[in-house]
Amino acid sequence: MGRGSRRAKDDPSVAGVLCVDKPSGLTSHDVVDRVRRRLGVRRVGHAGTLDPMATGVLIIGVGPTTRLLGIIGGHDKEYTATIRLGASTTTDDREGDVIAQATTQDIQHVTDAAIAETVAQFTGALEQRPSAVSAVKVDGKRAYQRVRDGEEVELPARAVTVEEFTILDIRRDDATAEGATDGADDAAGFSAIDVDVRVRCSAGTYIRSLARDVGEELGVGGHLTELRRTRSGTVDVAECVDLDGADLEHVSAPGVFARRRLPAVDLNDDQVVRVRNGARVGIDVPGASTVALIGPGEDLVAVVDGTSIGDQYSVTAVFPAIPLRVVSPTPGSGVADPE
């Protein structure tokens, strides 16, 4: 068998959640591939795609825990970013080609007060149009794939919520592009304003769309030049491991991760066996749509829906028992301990 045809074999003792600080230049799928090869586990997935340019929190599910990522679904995220005012690009970020460029005079007319007022307009409940070069599916095909195939894509706006959109710094430069001279508005360079921001938003919010929309509202165009996800749900970037770090195999037990995210009910050994065999047990389940049932040793047994009629609960998913090889949490390992 050739090297290219080898397939990773699943190790049933490696399962859980790994929180990675994604480096710039890799797709989220690239990160999954690296984790898959390093751990020797075929079943690996991620929650919340990050663009190649972006860095920060990327939550990786290993083994059966990949199902948990889908069940938990969307959760709020927090970012720091830099918006460059003065040019629009095909991708709404620095990776795309410049398609419109403001004059130096137009840029100079944009005041700090105008920037602050415009940013405030994009806080709260919004109807946001995703970038055409995004992972949104159109008739089963990713929008960015359609663009690459030469199609024109115009995605409909969708509801998002921006809880916080804070300006951290505003920097003005009359010659930000390499080769610019005296702030001249020509092919060599252009005037620009760089705005550092912090954004806290609902899942599905595109920060580069915010950059585009702020620039359009100010009449000078805008795009994203830096993006870092600093938090996803309860996972902070300080808890994440470097992708190439020596502690990459320190995978958080599924139950540890689930307890941080969901209301949880603790089961005894007998209840664990019964639930895994399909039986109901007499437990007091919180009236939440997603509740984790956790056995001794932070063993994630099942996720149930506690909003069913009466005092019953419906089972969303049952997770297999994991052998005790899962690495214990250590400082800086990317393991999310319960708070």
Among the listed residues 266, 261, 296, the one whose alpha carbon sits nearest the alpha carbon of residue 281: 266
In the prediction, which pLDDT does 328 show? 39
Q: From the CB of residue 117, how many other CB atoms can be counted at a distance below 10 Å?
A: 12
Domains of the chain: 9-74+238-242 (3.30.70.580), 77-232 (3.30.2350.10), 254-318 (2.30.130.10)
In the prediction, which pLDDT does 42 show? 87
In the prediction, which pLDDT does 173 show? 78
| Residues annotated catalytic, as ranges | 51
- What is the distance of C-alpha 135 from the center of its chain? 12
Q: List all residues 6 or more positions away from 39 whose beta carbon is below 8 Å from its beta carbon.
A: 11, 14, 62, 248, 249, 251
The ranges of the chain with pLDDT < 70 are 1-13, 73-74, 133-144, 146-153, 174-190, 246-249, 308-311, 323-339
In the prediction, which pLDDT does 67 show? 86
In the prediction, which pLDDT does 311 show? 55
In the prediction, which pLDDT does 182 show? 40
In the prediction, which pLDDT does 308 show? 67
Among the listed residues 76, 265, 40, the one whose alpha carbon sits nearest the alpha carbon of residue 161: 76
